[in-house]
Amino acid sequence: MSDACGCGDDEPRPAGEAAGAGDQEPERLWQVSELRWAAVSGMLLLAGYSTGWAGGPSWAQLGLQGVALVAGAWTFVPSTVRRLLKGKIGVGTLMTIAAVGAVALGEVGEAAMLAFLFSISEGLEEYSLRRTRRGLRALLALVPKEATVRRDGAEQVIPSAELRIGDLMVVKPGERIATDGIIRAGRTALDVSAITGESVPVEADVGSEVFAGSINGNGALEIEVTATAADNSLARIVAIVEAEQSRKGTRQRLADRVARPLVPGVMIAAAMIALVGSLFGDPLVWVERALVVLVAASPCALAISVPVTVVAAIGAASKIGVLVKGGAALENLGTVKTIAVDKTGTLTRNRPAVIDIATIPGMSDQHVLELAAALEARSEHPLARAILAAVGHVPAAEDVQAVTGAGLTGHVDGRLVRLGRPGWLEPGNLAEAVNRMQRAGATAVLVEADSRVIGAIAVRDELRPEAAAVVARLRSDGYGVVMLTGDNPATATALAAQAGINEVHADLRPEDKARVIDRLRGRQPTAMVGDGVNDAPALATADLGIAMGAMGTDVAIETADVALMGEDLRHLPQALEHARHSRRIMLQNIGLSLAIVTVLMPLALSGVLGLAAVVAVHEVAEVAVIANGVRAGRARPLPAAAGTTAPARQEVLA
């Protein structure tokens, strides 16, 4: 919320205060205290006017209007006074002065109308903000209240909050998983659509990591708990998003910059109007006009227009598996023009496999694989998993060291062995075999023993089935798509051609990717899509960092501005479209808010509009920008399957 507008409160309130329900967000309009007070004020105001129309005593009409004024003012005057005592002024200050001035002029009914309408906008703003926060926190409702654990050889049902790290959960078919863990027994297909936005079940068996809120398929599971209920993946996601919502985007900061000086500026202008007008005309007329101008220039609609949109959009994004870290990230997501994507794990499945082996005469494929596996056993590189999976026996290696961006060295059975990419190691007689592997889109890994290259291993990570369609969608939407990879140019070019990408930057180290991103930023606003670990420098350098498959990965969530929690690449264009739609709503709200102030001020100054009319127009405008901002809270999930055909455009528009 802006400092300039709370709007009446002028400051954020603890969750649930408005609803009076502890930490529960209001689910119905009548649960918002501001709207309840507004209803009381409205009924009393109507009763007061009815008394006057019926020819009742004036004291009864005045009394009803006075009580209506108190009921409506209760939603913003106390907080305004608290802020004034701290030396802070806001829109509530303008409204309070206007109400007091109207009473001083004998216009109690007009003051009551101002308080009534302003309390309605206060309540609607409060409801919209808390409703979108409630949608985000609904993720936590995916966690069951109870879980079955095996302790001391017996199964028992306990509250999920009492789960401890190391407990063994027993999850039956159809049940939700209470917290994060690792499968120790059983095999199943998990429904993770509520978390990642992907509707295709995920196969999981012994050793697979599972997350809170997932629905077990048709297999019984035993899961070792790796996180408490308060610290599981869903709880971290909610905590991160709510903390990052305080980060304001450029338009939110623009609204703040306009609103903050406007409040004291309007107060000074109103004082000058009253003073100068009183010198040359009727003081009562000009004091009244000054009060009307004070209300007409209130920037409340401007100050709340963007925050409401941001909160709604971020909450909606979380429901489709897109974690947006604040208003700044949302705005940047809506303005990027170039998308730089890492190859491994982003465009590809990140499941590399050995597809070919070439050796020098007299050397067996198995021996080459075993030497490579001996060094790769100490590596966390994705290619290491592929080589280790292709060999049965892994010899012991000593003195294994990594050469950044090149490969590994070590000793196996007393022999110096090196493993690495062509360029660091010369292929020699295997040059043609290496070229053949790279033309096929595979990564060639050379194995050298005693200073002689004895073999080449081809490892290929297949393109995601949806990758080509997603790239086509991005290009049709006007984005430039660039591939960045540490792989060799031949392999990178082959895979890029399959995906439909024309611009490729290959053979890059992490720092090289950051430099390429810096150059791309010089042309257009650029987003980097990577895994959040090896691509950290590039993610940090880009205008916007997007982590792919970040569910449960703290490093990815912390590094990137946006995290796609699932593995479906189609979430990328979906997130971009959602952000563009939200940005359009922000611009509409800012334009409408400024237009209202621009039109009302001269009408108020000239006396065309009175206090009640100005208040009515202003509060209708506030309701309009709130309602428009809430539209950003609508988003639809992806279709059921990620095939190889072009995905249907995901409409996130209202």
Tokens of 463: 């393109």
pLDDT of res. 22: 39
DSSP-derived 3-state class of residue 179: coil
Confidence of residue 353 (pLDDT cuts 50, 70, 90): confident
Rounded to an integer, what distance in angstroms lies between the CA atom of residue 423 and that of residue 435?
12
> Residue 402 corresponds to which tokens in the numbers above?
């990594």
DSSP 290-305: HHHHHHHT--HHHHHH
pLDDT, residue 555, reads 55
Q: What is the pLDDT of residue 563?
A: 84
Residue range 384-402: average pLDDT?
88
Question: Distance (Å, rounded) from C-alpha 232 to C-alpha 399?
Answer: 38
Closest Cα partner for 99 from 126, 124, 81?
81
What sign does the dihedral 101-103-105-111 (CA atoms) show?
A: positive
Residue 633 has pLDDT above 60, yes or no: yes
Residues comprising the chain, all counted = 654
CA dist., res. 60 & res. 64, Å (int): 6
Phi, psi of 25 (to 5 degrees): -85, 145
Phi-psi region of 450 (alpha: psi -120 to 50; beta: other; left: phi over 0): left
Three-class DSSP category at 473 = helix
Higher per-residue confidence, 466 vs 250: 466
Structure confidence at residue 496 (pLDDT):
92
CA separation for the pair 444, 219 (Å, rounded): 40
- Ranking 218-232, 288-302, 514-528, 535-549 by mean pLDDT, the lowest is 288-302
Closest among 304, 306, 277 to 289, alpha carbons compared: 277
Q: For the segment 27-58, what is each residue's pLDDT rounded down to a tens digit? A: 566 677 778 888 898 899 889 889 888 888 88
- CA nearest neighbour of 262 among 6, 616, 623, 594: 594
The angle at the Cα of 523, spanning 475 to 323, to the nearest 5 degrees, equals 60
Q: Are 602 and 292 in contact (CB under 8 A)?
A: no
Q: What is the mean pLDDT of the chain?
A: 81
Comparison of pLDDT for 50 and 260, the residue scoring more = 50
Q: Give residue 156's pLDDT band: very low, low, confident or very high (50, 70, 90).
A: very high
Tokens for 68?
A: 């209506």
pLDDT of residue 78 exceeding 80, the answer is yes
Residue 446 main-chain phi, psi, to 5 deg? -90, 140
Torsional sign, CA 119, 122, 124, 127: negative
Predicted confidence band of residue 167 (pLDDT cuts 50, 70, 90) = very high
Give the DSSP H or E segment for 528.
strand 526-530
Exposed, middle or buried, 432 (CB in 10 Å: 0-12/13-18/19+)? exposed
- The residues annotated with a catalytic role in the active site are 342
When comparing pLDDT for 373 and 247, which is higher?
373
**CA-wise closest residue to 637 among 134, 178, 191:** 191
Residue 153 pLDDT class (50, 70, 90 cuts): confident
Going by C-beta distance under 8 Å and a sequence separation of 6 or more, which residues neighbour residue 417?
371, 374, 375, 397, 409, 410, 411, 447, 448, 449
DSSP code string of 570-616: THHHHHHHHHHHHHHHHHHHHHHHHHHHHHHHHHHHTTSS-HHHHHH
What local confidence, expressed as pLDDT, does residue 237 receive?
Answer: 66
Among 99-108, 228-237, 241-250, 459-468, which is the least confidently predicted range? Answer: 241-250
Exposed e or buried b per residue across 454-475, where buried means at least 16 C-beta atoms within 10 angstroms of its C-beta: bbbbbbbbbbbebbbbbbbbbe
Considering the entire predicted model, what is its pTM?
0.67
- The confidence score (pLDDT) of residue 157 equals 93
Q: What is the mean pLDDT of residues 83-107?
A: 74
Q: Is the per-residue pLDDT at 553 higher than 70?
A: no
User: How confident is residue 621, by pLDDT bands cut at 50, 70 and 90?
Assistant: confident
pLDDT surpassing 90 at residue 453? yes
The tally of CA atoms less than 13 A away on the side-chain side of residue 57 is 3
Rounded to whole angstroms, what are the CA distances from 63 to 39, 51, 59, 116, 612? 17, 11, 6, 15, 19
The three-state (H, E, C) secondary structure of 208-241, written as one string? CEECCCCECCCCCEEEEECCCHHHCHHHHHHHHH
In 3-state terms, what secondary structure has residue 432? helix
